[in-house]
Structure 1
Amino acid sequence: MKRYGNLINEIIDRSNLEASFDEVTCDLSKWSKEYYRSKKEEIINRLATTIGDGSFRITRFEEFEVKDGNKIRKVQSPPVEERIGCNAVMRVVERYVYPTVIPTSCASIKGRGMHKLFRKMRSDIRHNMEDCCYYFQSDFRKFYESICQY
């Protein structure tokens, strides 16, 4: 595995933090967007400090339900400022990690997903039916809810 040097400077770079701020706040309600935009400088400076000194943490989650098709899912979302910090970290980390991930790793990777992996598996099975003799089916019901978040 390749090791990358200190990425903190890239993460706390002003342009990265501003891009993260804009990306996270763009989907907020008009009132919320105005509120956070009025505090933009304060938020960016605080994130640069806490990420820079290693004290940045997710402190709490707001839990709510979302209807996804005919399923109701529980979603846990950190406060907006902490989402901006996570986004800033991931914008940099993704540039280094995603190019190294194997093609069949699809979950939570932009441009991939379970449907792409499903199509890849279906194609592989069709092209090599004689060697395909095992399969595993699973459904990790409430898997993420059972993981200790602390």
Structure 2
Amino acid sequence: MVKRKGHIIERIADMDNLREADREAQDGKVKKNRFIRRHNMHPEEDLIALREMILTFNFPPPEYSLMQVKSDAGKVRDIIKQKYFPWRILHHAIMRVIGEDVYKSLIYDTSACIKGKGLHFGVKRMKRFLRQYPEYKWFVKTDFKKFYQSIPHEVIIASLRRKFKDERFIKLIEIAVLSYNSEQELIEVLKNEIERKKRCSDWSIYKPTSRKFRGKPDRSCDEGTLPGEMPAPLL
């Protein structure tokens, strides 16, 4: 049985951890994010306040905003984000402490949002499998609509409890990560998906091809034949 780790809250609230989390969270984003620039006017004061929030669970009400991001393939994703301070610094502070243990629990071929395991890693692994098992000629690529939003929160909590025994840390996760309720959003997505499938499967809504693309009914049988030739017989 794997020994569960404790004292997670103290490690997250450590000032050195918060400073590093702050540096990582704003990497490459300072120029285009006014909230980061505002935070950088008094960073140490903010981090001391964040440390107090973590130890007392006295956080401001979470405020979420929607941001749409377009991938290189043209797919538009809805990203639900929170303010830089205190939330995004807190997220990085949490991952700095538990990230290694979480990544160790994943299978080796997991390559989503993991440093050093991007698209090229996945392609190389797939090529290796195809060479190693030449009898397999096909592989399946699929996607789950709103995958992360649809994960039951109790499943996440149960998974974390198997690795960490600090109940205060579990409470922090519930506040910092699981406070967003996506139930109504998922219901609307599923309704729209059902309607879309109905439209795609109902051929009666499609009109017949326009008359200008059909054969001309007034065209004579011998049209297009050369002089002296017999017209083609009608079948």
TM-score (norm 1): 0.79
SS at match of 1:75: strand
Determine the C-alpha separation between the residues in 2 that align with 1:4 and 1:34: 36
| Bigger mean CA offset, 50-59 vs 66-75 | 50-59
Q: Which residue type is aligned with residue 82 of structure 2? A: P
Match of 2:66 in 1: 63
Q: Deviations over 1:92-120 (max 9, x none)?
A: 11133334433112212211134422321
Identical residues among aligned pairs (%): 30
Structure 2 unaligned spans of 5+: 153-179, 182-235
User: What displacement does 1:147 show?
Assistant: 6.3
Match of 1:36 in 2: 39
Q: 2:54 aligns with which of 51, 54, 61?
A: 51
Match of 1:22 in 2: 23
The answer to whether 1:87 aligns with 2:92 is yes
SS at match of 2:40: helix
| Bigger mean CA offset, 48-57 vs 115-124 | 48-57
The answer to whether 1:103 aligns with 2:108 is yes
Match of 1:124 in 2: 129
The answer to whether 1:137 aligns with 2:141 is yes
Determine the C-alpha separation between the residues in 2 that align with 1:2 and 1:54: 26
Q: Does the Cα contact within 8 Å between 1:25 and 1:36 map onto a contact in 2? A: no
| Bigger mean CA offset, 49-58 vs 95-104 | 49-58
Determine the C-alpha separation between the residues in 2 that align with 1:94 and 1:103: 15
Q: Does the Cα contact within 8 Å between 1:67 and 1:73 map onto a contact in 2? A: yes
Determine the C-alpha separation between the residues in 1 that align with 2:94 and 2:149: 24
Q: Which residue type is aligned with residue 12 of structure 1? A: A
Deviant stretches of 4+, over 3 Å: 30-34, 53-58, 132-137, 141-149
Q: Does the Cα contact within 8 Å between 1:61 and 1:76 map onto a contact in 2? A: yes
How big is the alpha-carbon RMSD for the aligned residues of Structure 1 and Structure 2?
2.8
Match of 1:8 in 2: 9
User: What displacement does 1:64 show?
Assistant: 1.7
Structure 1 unaligned spans of 5+: none
Question: Aligned pair in 2 of structure 1 residues 121, 58: CA closer, same or farther (>3 Å)?
Answer: farther
Specify the structure having the higher radius of gyration (Cα): 2
Question: Aligned pair in 2 of structure 1 residues 66, 46: CA closer, same or farther (>3 Å)?
Answer: same
Q: Which residue type is aligned with residue 113 of structure 1? A: G
